[in-house]
Chain A
Amino acid sequence: MAEYLIKNGFVFDPVLGIRGDQADIAIKDGKIVETNAITNPKVIDAAGKTVMAGGVDIHAHVAGPKVNVGRNFRPEDKLFGYKPRNGIERMQGGFSVPTTIRTGYNYARMGYTTVMEAAMPPLYARHTHEEMRDTPILDQGAYPVFGNNWFVLEYLKNHEIENTAAYIAWLLRATKGYAVKVVNPGGTEAWAWGLNCENVHDPVPYFDITPAQIVTGLIEANEYLGLPHSMHVHANNLGNPGNYTTTLDTFKLSEGIKPKSKFGRDQVMHHTHVQFHSYGGDSWANVDSRAREIMDYVNSHDNITIDMGQVTLDETTTMTADGPFEHHLTELNHLKWANADVELETGSGVVPYVYSPNIKVCAIQWAIGLELALLAKDSSRIFLTTDHPNAGPFIRYPRVMKWLMSEEAREQQFDAFKHKDKVIEATNLAGIGRELDLYEIAQMTRAGPAKSLGLAHMYGGLAPGLEADVAVYDFNPNEPYAPDDIEKAFSNAEHLFKTGVQVVRDHEIASNGNKRTLWVNAKVNENPQVMRDVKEKFLRYYTVTLNNYEVTGHYLPNPYVIEVDATQ
C-alpha cells in the first residue's frame, strides 16, 4: 500500500492532545505510523489546513428496512437533487433519506469514515447488511434492538442476567450485530396492541415488566458480557412536553453500575438524541428547554455518554423503532405514516416532518440541541448527531458545527425565527456565549464517539497504530473566518484517507474504498436453557425457521469481527 505524509497541517486530535499545532501525520499499510517509519511517501501539503482523524458517527439511520421505507414512500425527497453517474461515482439521489451510494459518498465528503446504523430489527438483519454492503467507503456496524424483545422481557422479568446475556450473544452472532440498542423499552411491545409505556414504571402489557427493569437488566447483561459499546438507549416518552423527568429517571437507572469492558470505555449507558428528551412544560403551548437540568445530571455522572439529535430546520423523514411515537406524530402533522411491527422483537414507524423556522416548537427544539452541547463540561462525552434523518439529515453536521462554534451564527438563526422572542424566553441558548473550538469538535465527532463505542483502539485519533482514517479540510483556524466558512470547509473535505486508501482527493471521490462491516462475536458459556427457549420460540411463534434466521457470510463481504470472551 502507498505511504503518505500529510505535512504541516494544523492538527486537532484529542487522542494525542494536539490543539491545532502544526504536525505531520504519516500513513503506512493502512495505519498511522511514526513519521520516521516511512521511506518514500506521497506528500500531501496541508499547510494552512485543518487535519483531523476520520469522523465517527455513533448514531444514524442509514441502512435497513425503515430507511428504505423512507426512500420508497417519499419520491418527493428525490426532487431536484439527483446526481448523475460520473467517473467512479454511481448515480446518487435523495436528500433526507439518500440512496446507499450517496450515503457513503456524502459522509466521505464530510471527512467521516465510520458510521453506525442505530437500529436493526433482528428479523430484518439481512436487509440492513445488504444496504451496508452497498454503501461505499464507510466502516459500519449495526445495533440490533433488544428493548421489546420477548426473550429479553421474559428473562428480565425474573432478573435473569446470565440468560439475557447468553441470548444477546446469540442474537449478535445471528444478526452480525454490534451493540445492544434499546428503543422505547416496553413501549413498542405495548404498541403492538396500540398502547405505549409512557414512563419507566409503566408496566408492559401481558409481560408484566417495567421499562426500568428492562433498562437496568440490559445494562447489567451488557456489562456481564463486557461488550465494546455500552447499552445504547432511546428512552420512553420521546418528543413529549415534560418528558425530561422520564429522561432523568432513565439516566438514574445507570447509577452505581461500573463498566466491565476491556475496550476502554467509561460509560455503562449511552443515551441517544437527548434533544428529543429534554422538554419541560405540559403542552406544546408551554414547552420549554430543560437542557440545563439534563446537563447538570450528565456533567456530574461520568458513566453516561449522550448524543445531541440536533434539529437542523429542514424538511426530513422521521423513522424510529418507537412505533407509538410515529403514530403520535402522524396525528400531529397529518402526513403519511408507515408502521411495521416485527414479530417477537420490535416495531417501527416512518413519518415525514418539516422543522420550520416559523414554528415555535421547532425553533425551541433547535435551541435545546445546541444547549446540550454548549452546557457540557466534557465535550468528549456528548457527540454531534442529528439522529439522521430524524432531526435533520447528516449532511448538516457542518452546519451544526458552525452553530456550535459561532455565537454570531446562532444569532443569525435566532433572527430568522418567526417567534424569536417566545423562543428566547423558552430556552437558555441566547444567554450562552460559549463558542466551541475545533479541538472540542474533534472530541464530539472523533475521539469521543470512538471511545464510547469501545473502538478507541482503531478510530477517533491520529496516534500511531490507529487506522489511517485522516481528513484534511481547507480551513485555516488561525486566519479570520466568517461562520459560513466553517460549514463550507467541513462539508467538503479536501482529502480523506480511509484505512490508508485515499478516498477523497482534491474534494473529489477518488476511490470506493475498502468498506468493512464490524460485528461483535461474544463467547459465553453454553446455556442449554436459552438454546431451548430459542428453539421453542422459533418452532411456535416465529414465521421463519431457526435455520433460516442467521445472517450468513456473503452478506458481509468484508467483515471485521470483534471478539469478546465472557466465558469466565
Chain B
Amino acid sequence: MTRTVTDVICPFCGTLCDDLEVVVSDDEKDLLEVYNACAIGAEKFLHSQAKDRITRPRMRQEDGSWKEISYDEAIEYTARMLTDAKKPLMYGWSSTNCEAQAVGSEIGEIVGAIMDNTATVCHGTSLIAVQDIGIPSCTLGEVKNRADRILFWGCNPAHAHPRHMSRYSIFPRGFFTGKGHTGRKVIVVDPRPTDTASLADVHLQVEQGRDYELLDALRVAFKGEKLPDFVAGIPKEKIYEAAETLKSGRFAIIFFGMGVTQSLGKNHNIDEAIAVTRDLNEYTKAAIMPMRGHYNVTGSGQVWGWLFGFPYAVDLSRGFARYNPGETTANDLLRRDEVDAVFVLGSDPGAHFPFSSVKKIYDRPSVAIDPHETPTTEVCKVHVPVAFVGVEVGGCAYRMDNVPIETRKVVEPPEGMMTDEEFLGRVLARVKEIKGV
C-alpha cells in the first residue's frame, strides 16, 4: 500500500508552490511519485531518494580522499573552526528553514561571524534599492485576483520559476480576473527572445545593459514628455505604447530578476524600476516584486531582520551588527582575504561564486552542510550531509512575496541523519561550552 500526502510545499524556488501531492511507501521511508510539481521541483523530491546518497559526514584527507567521520566529530570540527577563527564567514542560509536560520544566527553572534546569504549574488541589490526608495508590493494572490498588466523585466519564469505564470501571474482566473490570461496584457523586457517572451503581448528587446535608460524612458512617457527616437534600442513609439498599456490597467505588476539586479547599474536599475511603480500609482494601482530564487532566501532576510535589523551582509565580528554591502558581503571578504574560516549551509557558492572566491574557500578551514554533493562540498574540508528540508523535515519558509508557509515532512530521512537545525543546535551548545557562555 502507498499513501498520498497532499498540500506538500515544494522546497525549490521562491514560488513556494504548496499544492504538491507526494506518494510515499507504507513505511514512510520511500518517496515514490510527485504530482503537480514542475520538472525541477519533482526532481528535488526524487533526488532525495538516490541510493548513492551520502549519509554520514566526511573529512578531507591529506591525499584528497574523503574519510567518513561521525556527526560528533563533525560538530567538534565545526565548533572549533568557528571559535578558533578571528572572523569566520557563515554563508548560505537560503535552502533551509527559518528555525535553522535562527539557531545559526545565535552561533554567528557568539563566534563573531559574518552572516551572508545568497542575496549577495542575487537580489541583494534589490534590498539596497528598497533601502533607498522603499517598495510598493503585494502578495501573489493580489496579482492572481486583480492584475491585468503583467511586466516581466530581466527574468525568465518559464525556466526559473516554472509554475509562477500558471499559479499567480499570467494564466490564473482570480476574483476580478475571471477571463484569465485573455484579460491580461503581458509585457516582457529582455535582451533575449526567451520562452517567457514568447508568451508576451509585447516583447521589448532592450539592448543589453541599458535597462536603466528604458526604465527612465517609461517615466518620461508616463508624463507624456518627449523621448528621443530610440532608447535602449527600442523605438519611442513602442515605449509610449507600453507606458499607455501600463497606465490604462486597473492593477499593474512588475516582476524582475537577475537580468536587472546583476547587470550594469545593479541597485540603480531597481531604484528606477521602483520609481516607475511609484509613478504608476499616480494613475492606477501598481506593485513590484523581486523573483526570489531559493525557496527560503526571503526567510533568511526576515530572520536576520528581526534579530539584527539587516537582511544580508551582516557583520557580527565586532560584537554588534554592522551592514555595509561591498565591505561585509561574502565575495568581497573572500577576495580580500578578510575571513579565516568558511561555513556554508543551504547554498552552493562553489558553483555560483567567481573562481577567485572559490579558491579562497578551498584555502581555508571550511565546512559545507548540504544534503547533496556539490561543487562546494568538493572544495570544503568537511562535508556534513543533512536531511532535506521540505522533504524529510518541515519548518518555516518565506515565499518571494514574504508569505511564510510551513513546509512538510513527507518521508523519514535515512537512518541516523541529522537535520540542519539539530546539527546547528549541537554546534551552538559546543560553541557555548568552548566560549564559556
Chain A positions near chain B (C-beta within 8 angstroms): 63, 65, 67-68, 71-75, 77-78, 82-85, 90-91, 93-94, 97, 99-101, 123-124, 126-127, 130-131, 134, 150, 192-194, 206, 327, 330, 335-344, 347, 350-351, 540-545, 547-548, 552, 555
Contact = CB atoms under 8 A, between A and B. Distances in A.
A100 B102 CA distance: 12
B320 A84 contact: yes
A552 B310 CA distance: 27
Contact of B320 (A65, A67, A82, A339): A82
Contacts of A72: 127, 130-131, 301-302, 305, 309-311
B402 A127 contact: yes
A36 to B, nearest CB: 42
B308 interface: yes
B4 interface: no
B390 to A, nearest CB: 12
B131 A75 contact: yes
Contact of A341 (B138, B311, B319): B138
Given A93-B320, A134-B102, A543-B141, A123 B403 contact: yes
Interface residues on B, range: 35 or more
A335 B134 CA distance: 8
B135 interface: yes
Interface string B284-318: 11010000000000000111011111110000101
A340 B281 CA distance: 13
Given A71-B305, A340-B402, A543 B167 contact: yes
A540 B141 CA distance: 10
A544 to B, nearest CB: 5
Contacts of A91: 109, 308, 316, 319-321
B321 A194 contact: no
A482 to B, nearest CB: 33
Given A72-B311, A341-B139, A194 B320 contact: no
Interface of B: 6-7, 9, 18-19, 98, 102, 106, 109-110, 127, 130-142, 144-146, 167-168, 174-176, 250-251, 278, 281, 284-285, 287, 301-303, 305-311, 316, 318-323, 396, 398, 401-406
A351 B133 CA distance: 10
Contact of B287 (A71, A101, A330, A339): A339
A327 B281 contact: yes
A541 B144 contact: yes
Given A327-B281, A350-B134, A545-B19, A126 B320 contact: no
21 contacts: A72-B309, A72-B310, A73-B134, A73-B135, A78-B323, A85-B109, A97-B309, A127-B402, A150-B175, A338-B130, A338-B134, A339-B136, A340-B137, A343-B141, A343-B142, A351-B134, A541-B141, A541-B144, A542-B141, A548-B18, A548-B405
Contacts of B109: 85, 90-91
A343 B145 contact: yes
A545 B307 contact: no
A338 B146 CA distance: 19
B284 A126 contact: no
A511 to B, nearest CB: 16
Shortest 4 CB-CB contacts between residues of A and residues of B: A343-B141, A336-B134, A84-B319, A341-B138
A65 B130 CA distance: 15
Contact of B306 (A77, A99, A337, A351): A99
A83 B320 contact: yes
Nearest to A344: B141
Contact of A126 (B307, B396, B401): B396
Given A91-B319, A545-B7, A73 B306 contact: no
Contacts of B137: 338-341
Contacts of B7: 545, 547-548
B19 to A, nearest CB: 6
Contacts of A124: 402-404
A131 B306 contact: yes
B130 A74 contact: no
Contacts, number: 183
Contacts of B174: 540-541
Contacts of B319: 84-85, 91
A77 B316 CA distance: 17
Given A124-B404, A343-B139, A543-B167, A75 B285 contact: no
B140 A336 contact: no
Contacts of A337: 133-134, 136, 278
A334 B316 CA distance: 33
A552 B109 CA distance: 28
A384 to B, nearest CB: 25
A134 B306 contact: yes
A336 B306 contact: no
Contact of A93 (B142, B308, B318): B308
A99 B134 contact: no
B309 A94 contact: yes
Contacts of A94: 309
B321 A93 contact: yes
Contacts of B285: 192-194
Contacts of B167: 543
Contacts of A68: 302, 305-306
A127 B403 CA distance: 8
A157 B12 CA distance: 42
Contacts of B301: 72
B14 to A, nearest CB: 13
Contacts of A65: 402
A74 B139 contact: no
